[in-house]
Structure 1
Amino acid sequence: MDDLEQRVRAFVHEQISWLPMDMASDTDVVDDARIYGDDVWELVDDFAEKFEVRVDGFRWYHHTGPEGCNPLWLFIKPWWARKAHVPIRLMDLVESAHRGEWTVRYPTDEEESRR
């Protein structure tokens, strides 16, 4: 385990104290930690700042939904909830820190429309 991986592990543990430093490299730091909404945004934003990672490829809707609940969602599934879940694994964060860019891969057929 290199120094950068140790620093990423320490960062995740600082942000999400119930995830242990010796977590498996395939730990989904969003689902396994049960964080959602703004907490996911803050984690990714803080990670990007601390490790100087460009996150312009980050697609929030593959990791979480917005905080709160709209009663209509009981009857009509919102667009973001129909997207495939993509984990943010510890190993993805380590690779992103090594490369300086967001390396999580997303389904190409589920890209948000950019009109």
Structure 2
Amino acid sequence: MNIEEIYSFLAKEIAIESEKLHPDVDLTADLGVEGDDFSELIEAFAENYHVDMSSYRWYFHHREEGWSLGALFFKPPYMQVQRIQVTPEILLHAARMKKWSFEYPSHQVSESRLDIQMNIIILVGLGVTGALMWLLGVFSA
């Protein structure tokens, strides 16, 4: 197992030229791999190299997909911790060890996703408001 194998894997998975890859390139900040793309990349990596990812904590490494109105009111997990980069060198180490052995700093992330709950409240509120406006429009005509 060498770094060139990791480069080939990354080039195939994220459709990037291998010339842009070096051991310390940050997959998120330098290459723009975020959200679902990052999650899919890590899943493919774990499967391809038989890496135990049970200790992997996504929120340290990338944001979620899309935009969340609820995040304006409550911090999602990735905003509650300091981001840690993932590089080809880190992937190579995990592939060789067959385990994601990253030591995360001591942290506490809220388990209740208040940002998502707020999104649901907003969407339900908009739906109810729309339904009431429609009903009032139907009955006032």
Distance 2:19 2:101 in 1: 22
Matches within 5 A, 1:1-115: 3-21=1-19, 23-107=21-105, 109-110=106-107, 112=109
- The alpha-carbon distance between structure 1 residues 112 and 54, as it changes in their structure 2 partners (threshold 3 A), is farther
Gaps of 5+ in 1: none
Q: Secondary structure at the match of 1:83?
A: coil
Structure with higher helix content:
2
Deviations 1:31-64 (A, max 9, x none): 2111211111100000011111111111000111
Distance 1:70 1:35 in 2: 18
Q: Secondary structure at the match of 1:42?
A: helix
TM-score normalised per structure 1: 0.82
Larger radius of gyration: 2
CA root-mean-square deviation: 2.1
Structure 1 segments (4+ residues) deviating >4 Å? 111-114
CA-CA distance at 1:90 after TM superposition: 0.8
Gaps of 5+ in 2: 112-141
CA-CA distance at 1:67 after TM superposition: 1.2
Distance 2:53 2:87 in 1: 15
Same amino acid, percent of matched pairs? 27
Contact 2:35 2:62 in 1 (8 A): yes
Q: Secondary structure at the match of 1:13?
A: helix
Contact 2:26 2:85 in 1 (8 A): yes
Q: Which has the higher contact order (CA 8 A, sep 6+)?
A: 1
CA-CA distance at 1:18 after TM superposition: 2.5
Distance 2:84 2:13 in 1: 20
TM-score normalised per structure 2: 0.68
Q: Which amino acid aligns with 2:3?
A: E
CA-CA distance at 1:111 after TM superposition: 5.0
